[in-house]
Amino acid sequence: MDGDNLTVLSGFILLGFSDAPELQTTIFSISLSLYVLMALGNLVMILLINTDPQLHSPMYFFLTHLSFIDFCLSSTVIPKALETFLLGRSHISLLGCFAQIYFFVALVISECFLLGVMAYDRYVAVCQPLFYTTTMSRERCYSMVVLVYTTGFLSSLVHTILVGRLSFCQDRSINHFFCELPTLLQLSCSDAHTNKILQVSDAVLTDVGSILMILVSYTYIIHTILQIPLARSRLKGFSTCTSHLVAITIFYAPIMLTYFQPRKARLRDQTKLVAACYALLTPTLNPVIYSLRNTEVKGAMRRLWVRRLVPR
């Protein structure tokens, strides 16, 4: 039986952090705790924004989708990863592996472009406040979100189809806690040159495209804020953008380390730790970042709490 047929029948083995068995219980406990916090934080954020009329604005509409993407992103890989951490290694079918690749890549690309759209929303709010209502109309916001998801899922479909055409060797062990695209390409026995070129090209286009949108938007935002004569008003202008800038930083930093660092320069577990950042840590931190510095979100939390304690 050749390697390709063997893989179809038996799938792959996820090794997780099996080279550090003494840390398995600790890694499992930390990951489970972060996943529970991630789920609660993002679901509460979605609930708050959808139930509080004062949060029915374009900024919070996009924040709802950011929370939704973060929740789905973690849920795509972490439940299986928890099994891997608990047992030391775990089996994943070929279909399950490709499903992880498809949804994970689609959601990462979607989040990249959504962060760019959110930067554009802040640009319109700060630099063109008189035109904000017409520019960021309900129909336009929905169109932007549809474009974000369409771009992400179509791009991921191309990657998944090309990976599905590869043949894999009899060594089915994936030195990772989920089926990440670069890691799976290393197991291919056939020529994966096209896949690697597409992966790098897509990463460059996606990251550079969204980062350019963010940089241009914030260049105009900073220029506009610096022209405000009152220091208190300038501080308020900067504070409205701080949460988004922090979210951008913690999302892009690990992705840039993963996809643009030469493979030979990476340590064995460095890729896993970086992946854990954008698969679990970032989705956990985003609701905290957007709620701690946001008086409107904190006000919505208080109103929700009061409604629960004092029902009508």
Reported pTM: 0.87
Domains of the chain and any CATH numbers: 3-306 (1.20.1070.10)
Best CA proximity match to 163, nearest among 185, 146, 141: 185
In the chain, which stretches have pLDDT less than 70?
Answer: 1-10, 18-19, 230-240, 255-269, 292-293, 307-312
Residue pair 70/111 in contact by the 8 Å Cβ criterion: yes
Sequence-distant (6+) residues with CB within 8 A of 2 are 167
Beta sheet of 90-92, edge-to-edge order: 90-92, 12-14, 173-174
In whole angstroms, give the CA distance from residue 255 to residue 117: 19
Q: Which distant-in-sequence residues (6+ apart) come within 8 Å of 154 by Cβ?
A: none
Number of H helices, E strands in the chain: 12, 3
pLDDT given at position 196? 80
CA 32, CA 237: separation in Å to the nearest integer? 37
* 35-61 pLDDT tens trace: 999 999 999 999 989 988 888 899 999
Of 74, 109, 65, 103, give the one whose Cα is nearest residue 255.
Answer: 109
pLDDT at res. 103: 96
Amino acid at 11: G
pLDDT at 256: 67
